[in-house]
Chain A
Amino acid sequence: MPAAGRHLAVMAGLAVLGLIGYRLLTTLEGGKAHICMLVMVWAIAATGLNVILGLAGYPSLVQASFFGGGAYISSLLLQHGWQPAVAAVLGIVLTMAGAVLIGLVFARTRGQYFAIGTLFSGAVVTLVLINEKGVTRGQQGMPVGLAWSTDLTIKLLAVSVPASLAIFYVIARSHIGDRLRSIREDEDLAAHLGVPTAQIKLIALVISSAFGAWAGVLQAQSDGLISPSQFTFVKGFLLFVAIGLGGYGRLLTPVIGSFIVIGVPELLDLGPGISQIALGVLFLVVTLTVPGGLIGGAEGVARRAAGVIRRPTGSDVATPSEALT
């Protein structure tokens, strides 16, 4: 398929996805609607993580804090009488500013140091949310003034998921996307070829924080209550698990991953222990046996099945552009 037609098809597919989301949010009832909303919010936050973890292969464990940053900052501004739109925008901008700070320190570090640094950054954010009781009300959480009608929040959610994925699609095909993938393949080589690796990692972290913060704004507005436990580094792990399960850097990973990580445990309702154990085991099995994640694995199976019919000697190695979809 020619490139333009392919892009158009992807965008149309995303639009359909948004309509399905809207339909689910408006027709499902009670608990199920809430689960659907959670999955959609998480999909937006995970899309951000898919930029830095998926494209660049950098294990950012601070994503849940960006999520929390958007939720807390926008809610606090609303509480102080700011306009909803301004509160939301400032929630995102200030969270991105925080991401710049974290990035300035840790983007220069490599691999495991980056994982440790971002993990600890997230833990400190949680510590602040719990301890600054005068502002955040601490562990018990704070009620959020609802700025928008339920209908508008639902529409925003339904538009935001496909819009986020579309932005990811564009980023993945841009100059920055190429540079991020070059870092994932071989950071030393990328640096030698003139890719400013630290700067690119910083940009990726800030982009990921914008998605996380917008997800946080929507989470606060749909739930009406936020607490530090929603944004701990355990949630950061779960976002990581969502990306790994779906397949690093693939377009639909955030949706599939969030559904498995958040939706399935809530729907099955086996109790927190059992579902998290099952999730951990599934994640381990996928990590050890299917490096492309569930989407990559399914694609491989499909390609092999097609290859058997069309060209028996065909290779099943994905080309870079295929690996992205």
Chain B
Amino acid sequence: MGQVLVNGVFLGSLFAVVAVGLTLVYGVMEVPNFAHAGIIVLAAYATFEMSERGAPFVVAAIVGVAAGGVVSVATELFAYRWVRNNPAAAPAVALGLLLVMQNTALRAWGGEGKALDTPYQGVLVRFGGVSLSGVKLALIIFAAVSLVGLGLVLARTSLGRAVRAVAQDREAAAMLGIPIQQQYTLAFLIAGLLAGVSAVAYAPTFQITPYMADEVLLSAFVVVVVGGLGSVGGAVVGGLVLGVVESFGAYYISAAYQSAFGFVALVVILVARPGGLLGTNARRVA
């Protein structure tokens, strides 16, 4: 029971980091960023490549996170920026980007899984009959630190206030003199860095493949819907809830259908509330 709950927190932390990146981009730009999975994959391979070349793990991890940020900003610069006034084209652009990124990874590193070594992978933490491997604990810590950091940036800095203002009302923010373009780029930068963090944290628990992030992305989208598209706080809470739901489902019913429990949650929520659970900022979803 305790073990299942801890696993749920592990999964939930992962979902939360990915979902916050998705919801931030959605909040400012109304893009369902399917390409987020591709950014996670490329960041993971960047980390792998660096550690293969003998770089210490810390350096490799920093390069991986930075790579996530760079690739994400590039997708905004070269693709999303050009469909800003045509939200209907956004899913198509996202799918095109995903196709390009995953197949670039497939071409460069091949389809077979690569293992990412970390200095903390031999660690096993035990407390009160519950055990947690070093890589899973590290993921929870990475997630907590980056999300608290992001929370502080959004709440306390003028940069964060500007991002929130754009997410709440684009036109009003523009009228008040907030440089909108800069907020778009910033949102993609933050989302990319979070994708990098999730890649570095998640890759050691699993193998790196071009399709490693597909299922995580699906669950993260459920989180975003649960939390309300565009709501960062909702994404964190939703992430943890969904992680625990999937973990209990996997343990008590069937591990093979773990991500399907997320789907069940999505169906239940959308039947009850077609606009998501916490549509607090009343954003029209269209």
Contact = CB atoms under 8 A, between A and B. Distances in A.
Interface of A: 57, 59, 105-106, 108-113, 115-117, 119-121, 123-124, 127, 131, 187-188, 233, 237, 240-241, 244, 271-274, 276-277, 279-281, 283-284, 287-288, 291
A116 B32 contact: yes
B42 to A, nearest CB: 13
A92 to B, nearest CB: 24
Nearest to A130: B256
A120 B95 CA distance: 15
A127 B256 CA distance: 8
B150 interface: no
A120 B96 CA distance: 18
Contacts of A287: 83, 89, 92-93, 96
Nearest to A122: B218
Interface in B204-226: 214-215, 218, 221-222, 224-225
Contacts of A272: 103, 106
Given A111-B87, A123-B259, A127-B257, A106 B107 contact: no
A281 B225 contact: no
Interface residues of B, number: 49
B187 to A, nearest CB: 16
B270 A113 contact: yes
Interface string B67-94: 0000000000001001100111101110
Given A113-B285, A280-B98, 8 more contacts: A112-B26, A112-B91, A113-B276, A115-B32, A119-B218, A273-B106, A280-B103, A287-B92
Contacts of B254: 131
A164 B48 CA distance: 48
A115 B286 CA distance: 11
A177 to B, nearest CB: 18
Interface of B: 26, 30, 32, 34, 79, 82-83, 86-89, 91-93, 95-100, 102-104, 106-107, 214-215, 218, 221-222, 224-225, 229, 254, 256-257, 259-260, 262-263, 266-267, 270-271, 274-276, 285-286
Contacts of A111: 87-88, 285-286
A284 B91 contact: no
21 contacts: A105-B270, A109-B270, A110-B285, A113-B276, A113-B285, A119-B221, A120-B262, A121-B263, A123-B215, A127-B260, A240-B91, A241-B99, A271-B107, A272-B106, A276-B102, A276-B106, A277-B107, A280-B100, A281-B96, A287-B83, A288-B89
A280 B259 contact: no
A120 to B, nearest CB: 5
B286 A284 contact: no
B259 A116 contact: no
Q: Which of A115, A121, A187 has the most CB of B within 10 A?
A: A115
Nearest to A236: B95
A288 B91 contact: no
Contacts of B104: 273, 277
A279 B221 contact: no
A272 B259 CA distance: 27
Contact of A284 (B32, B100, B106, B274): B100
Given A112-B285, A127-B259, A131-B257, A280 B99 contact: yes
B259 A284 contact: no
Given A240-B95, A280-B103, A120 B88 contact: no
